[in-house]
Amino acid sequence: MDYHRNYRPCPTFFVEEDYGLEIRMRQERQAKQEHDKQMARERQYVMADELSNLTSEQLRDDVLSHMLEMDNQTLPDVESIDIQTEIQWFMRPYLLDFLIEAHTAFQLLPSTLFLAINLLDRYCSKRVVYKRHYQLVGCAALLIAAKYNDKKDRVPTIKELKSMCCSLYDDDMFTQMEWHVLQTLGWSIGHPTVDAFLQHAVLDDTYDPEVEHMALYILEIALFHRDFVAKLSSELARAALALSRCILNRPQPRHTHWASQYDSMTLVALSQQLHQPSTVVARKYASAHYSRVSKVMEHFLNRQASLATYARCTPPVETPVESKPYNGEIGLATPQKSQQLTAIPHGYLTPPITPDNEALVHAHTQMANHDMNRGMPTVHHGCSPSPGPSVEMQYINSEAYQQQHEAMYMAQQAALQQFPMAPTHMGMSQTYQGGM
């Protein structure tokens, strides 16, 4: 009896094996349940995307019209910023560099940065901002934009913002400025940013990350300049997209597309501000995450500058004029001599070059002396001997030579009229008869 009372089954190998098998089966069931949950979640995401795309296609025009209306209602007033007593436009790049670095450090969405700048400019349009509070207003705008757009775990804390400002402001100052910005703007935070219009413009196109990153790079450069503060986000997005496609040699959309209706003046104004971007922005878009578009932009601008320099330094190439036989038409071609000295229906020939022949000169001299001995006027046969024309001597057109020929003919007629009773000579009869 004591034996049975004190008996306890000792663990054996078979018992341990059964216990391990039960643990493995439990783990397998848990893994299968997690897999089923994940598959169900994925199916829900797919169905939600399909419904969202279907709804967006049906309501795309309504959504766009609402965005355009909000874009007009949430624009800052540049003239009001101009009359600020302490803050000036040259301070803007320093604050934007700080906000862009903070935005990158917290890994916030691109729309958060553009919304924060919009809130900053709208607040400066309605309130007098002191120079010592300018950075505090920017931090409050970034905090509001992050709470409005990003996930909760990405929103920066007040301690982090205070640390980035080197403890220049107390914790309560961040809270008070955040409340004051919201109250000044009437708690109206929603603003369709340029990246929202950019996504709408490329919705029907094939995904091209380099084009989108280049457009975002151009739009962030535009934040630094006063000329684009009061520009509509829709105009800036379309112009930046067209400019990025031009830089990357991508085809432009068809004319019926919404993105093709960009303002050419805005595009030119954006292109004029690409030469000296902010160092912070250029370093940000030089990373592989943004397709290194700042390097691509730099190479493009250098190539354009070299082409412009080459065009200024290289003289224009003159196309050689092909020498053609002269057919009597009046033009810029130099008349050429024909092979046969026959009657020409139109125009005049270039006078033949008289060779500088001593025998011919001697013959003309003897004839002249013989005529003088007989008391007759000296009339030369043909043209007088003359040296060949120099290389510089060229006839521009046949009109000049025609006028010269008519003047010579009138001079011969005047000389002949002085001797009306001149006797006929063997060698001169044909000349006189031809002249009269």
Residue with the two structure tokens 């809130």: 119
Task: Tell me the C-alpha distance between 217 and 247, whole Å.
Answer: 12
Q: Does 122 score more than 90 pLDDT?
A: yes
Across the range 253-260, mean pLDDT stands at 72
> What confidence score (pLDDT) does residue 369 get?
54
Q: Enter the pTM of the model.
A: 0.60
CA distance 401 to 385: 19
User: Encoding tokens for residue 397?
Assistant: 């057109």
Q: Where are the alpha helices (DSSP H) in 134-232?
A: 134-149, 158-164, 171-184, 194-201, 209-222
User: What is each CA distance from 392 to 356, 388, 389, 395, 396, in whole angstroms?
Assistant: 19, 12, 8, 10, 12
- pLDDT of 56 reads 64
Rounded to whole angstroms, how far apart are CA atoms 286 and 253? Answer: 27
Amino acid in the structure at residue 194? V
The contacts of residue 196 (CB under 8 Å, 6+ apart) are 67, 111, 233
Mean pLDDT to the nearest integer, 418-425: 43
Question: Can you read off the two tokens belonging to residue 152?
Answer: 């909760």
List, for residues 364-401, the tens digit of each pLDDT value: 455 545 544 444 444 444 444 434 444 444 444 455 55
Q: What single letter denotes the amino acid at residue 256?
A: T
pLDDT given for residue 435 in this prediction: 38
pLDDT-derived band at 208 (thresholds 50, 70, 90) equals: confident
Residue tagged 């402001």 (tokens): 169
Encode pLDDT of 263-321 as tens digits: 889 888 898 888 888 899 999 999 888 889 999 988 888 888 888 777 776 665 555 54
Q: What does pLDDT average to over the chain?
A: 74
Q: Identify the burial level of 4 via C-beta atoms within 10 angstroms of its C-beta, where 0-12 means exposed, 13-18 middle and 19 or more buried.
A: exposed
Give all domains of the chain, ordered by start, each with its CATH number. Answer: 78-185 (1.10.472.10), 194-309 (1.10.472.10)
Mean pLDDT of the region 254-267: 78
Say what the pLDDT of residue 108 is. Answer: 92
**Given a cut of 80, is residue 146 above it in pLDDT?**
yes
Phi, psi dihedrals of residue 65, rounded to the nearest 5°: -65, -40
Rounded mean pLDDT, 108-126? 93
* Gyration radius from the chain CA atoms: 47
| pLDDT, position 6 | 58
Query: Which H helix or E strand runs over 67?
Result: helix 13-73
253 pLDDT band, cuts 50/70/90, is confident
Give me the sign of the Cα torsion angle 118, 221, 101, 194. positive
